[in-house]
Structure 1
Amino acid sequence: MSSDPWGRVDETGTVYVRTADGEQVVGSWAAGSPEEALAYFERKYEGLVVEIGLLEKRVQTTDLSAKDAQTAIGHLREQVDAHHAVGDLEALRTRLDKLVATVEARREERKAQRAKQSDEARKSKEDLVTEAEQLAQSDQWRAAGERLRALVDTWKGLPRLDRKSDDELWHRFSHARSAFSKRRKAHFAQLDAQREEARKTKERLVAEAETLSGSADWGPTAARYRELMAEWKAAGRAQREHEDDLWNRFRGAQDVFFAARSSVFAERDAEQSENLKLKEELAEEAEKLLPITDLKGARAAFRSINERWEAIGHVPRDARPKVEGRMHTVERAIQEAEEAEWRRTNPEARARAEGLTGQLQAAVDKLRAQIEQARAQGNNAKADKLERELEGRQALLDQALKGLQEFGG
């Protein structure tokens, strides 16, 4: 008979394994020695140990499903319970029991993980729907359209929810995208209509600008070009394929007109600069007549200067006030000299001045006599009143005497 701590072979070749419930028959062996029988069934036990170890590792390190793990555990448990191996079978049962608990824990963990992932996916999809519904109202057509396309890609990468929830959220998401697309389509349709209207308006403006490009009516035509430019800006943009061509034609027509005007103005400016030089020389000649000592000679000289002045054309606008002012100063001096001469030589004016002076002198003399009389009578109030009146008459008399002196009197 042969034995080891976990089994033995009796005289008949029957192999036993020791368990907590006593010995259990493993099998019979007739082909060799008892030691070979025990070694054979011990190898069977080691095989079970290896299989259980492999299953434990798979459960811990792979995504083996709980169902497949339970099937494998059941298969191994049947082999252990069949007692066809010699070894610590109870230890194998204990390991299988622990493995069952591990599989169950992993299943609950995965269930919780799936629930968490589902909640996260729901939250992510709800956030996508909310953002899509906000974007549906946006007028930032390019940016919002690109963002909506990115949201679709994000949606596709998220796990599916339960069918009802997923369908409801997708319906909202899809509706938001459709609403945005509808608004964008309407916007660009309206924009196309506006650009077509702008094209027609600008075609008309270009036609008029090209017609005006040959005009020599500088002022009104330049003003009309400014009006056309204002209308151009107010018209808005035409389609891209037309806008640049229309603008080049419009601008080209203006350039033709303004280049011609600039050429004419340059010639005119040169001529007016020469005119200014001539008028400044005449103004200097006129200023030499001042001060007026010979009125007759000054008048004749100024007339000659003025005739030459009038024969000269325009001068630059900004220089006109200064040079004309110099001539006006000389002209006023001559006019004042003429007025003074007229007053001095006018008999009627002299007679009127002498008469007025005589009347004022008589009035002053009379007031002085009345004042003396009032003082003599002790009527100081009357005298004071008469003195105030005398002051006014005396002032008029002084002024009349000064005027009389202008007549050489």
Structure 2
Amino acid sequence: MYVVEDKGGAIALMFAALFFLGTWPFVLALLERRGRLPQHTYLDYSITNLLAAIIIAFTFGEIGRSKPGEPNFLTQLSQDNWPSVCFAMAGGLVLSIGNLSTQYAWAYVGLSVTEVVSSCITVVVGTTMNYFLDDRINRAEILFPGVGCFVIAVCLGSAVHSSNKADIEAKLSIMDKEKTRIANSETTKDLQSTALDLENEKNEAVIPFSENKAKAGTAEFFMALEKRRSIKVVGTSTMFGMCIVFMAGICFSLFSPAVNLATNDQWHTLKTGVPHLVVYTAFFYFSISCFVLAIILNVTFLYWPILGLPKSSLTAYAKDWKGRQWALLAGFLCGFGNGFQFMGGQAAGYAAADAVQALPLVSTFWGILFFGEFRKSSRRTYILLVAMLFMFAAAVGVLMASSGHRKT
């Protein structure tokens, strides 16, 4: 079994996990914006997410010979360690619910804000729990100021969302007024030509409802996006989306402490002489429960969809190859990201490993680069956005600096 023993290796794993965990939400959000049903996407994602755990278990978990206190993955499968296995599987269940929730929340409040708010809740609740579960191996005088940075970041994130939503509503209002003005005017030659185009359903000259033609950040862009995406959100309550985000954050705050309990047995649930679960075995059981619940829920949502989505079926899912490769990639990214986070946490403390919750740094970058999020927004929105990203960057540095060293 491969064991990460030095702080430098643990921090390197955290950085890799940060990149992977910040990228996979962007991939799934991209598919939703292109009209692919979330149920189809999540089923594909779940398959490779489990496959990543299996790959990690049979590679890192099988390197070298098995030792009495550190058995290899296959050796541990036959041991009487079910109390720890249950903790690991409970962690997988709450993560599955959290990931599924965020997939719908992205449509309502945007990729950036969803990741900001859920990550902050995860850090405030989960990191505090991990600090005490790990017998305070992380430096509190460094760790908790980092948690404070996350709290400030989520406040800024909420302000960014409110400001950006006001900008979008203002753009849509201006567009509606312009459409009304054009529809009511019949005096000029240009307006007569426009009316003819509208009659022939060729209104691109006035309202270019094409996401490819409309410039990012414009009212036309948002209307074109709404027509194309699978979850329709115009006119819905933002508060509803935020409720989904808060539920996801609570779920995310519990999965890391559950794995911590599974690997370190702080509550002494194992029988005397039974070795603790190694991180690879814990992650394997964690991913199995995550996979099973995801399959059950998403197959159910195929036939009884939620949030106004159309019905589907297993046959339709099997035939839907549009974007499947991206959904499979997202599953690998999330799987390896979670695995690296747990490997780093086992070496340097799970509280420090929660630095990967600065994943909005990565998600926001992808959202701005490819989605045009915050494009053509107000100066106030830009100032809040920069302040939010700065606080996240400070938080990840401070939390990683609090890394300790777990005693064998």
- Give the TM-score category using the shorter length: under 0.3
TM-score by length of 2: 0.19
Larger relative strand fraction: 1
TM-score by length of 1: 0.19
* Greater length-normalized contact order (CA 8 Å, ≥ 6 residues apart): 2
Larger Rg, first or second structure (1 or 2): 1
Larger relative helix fraction: 1
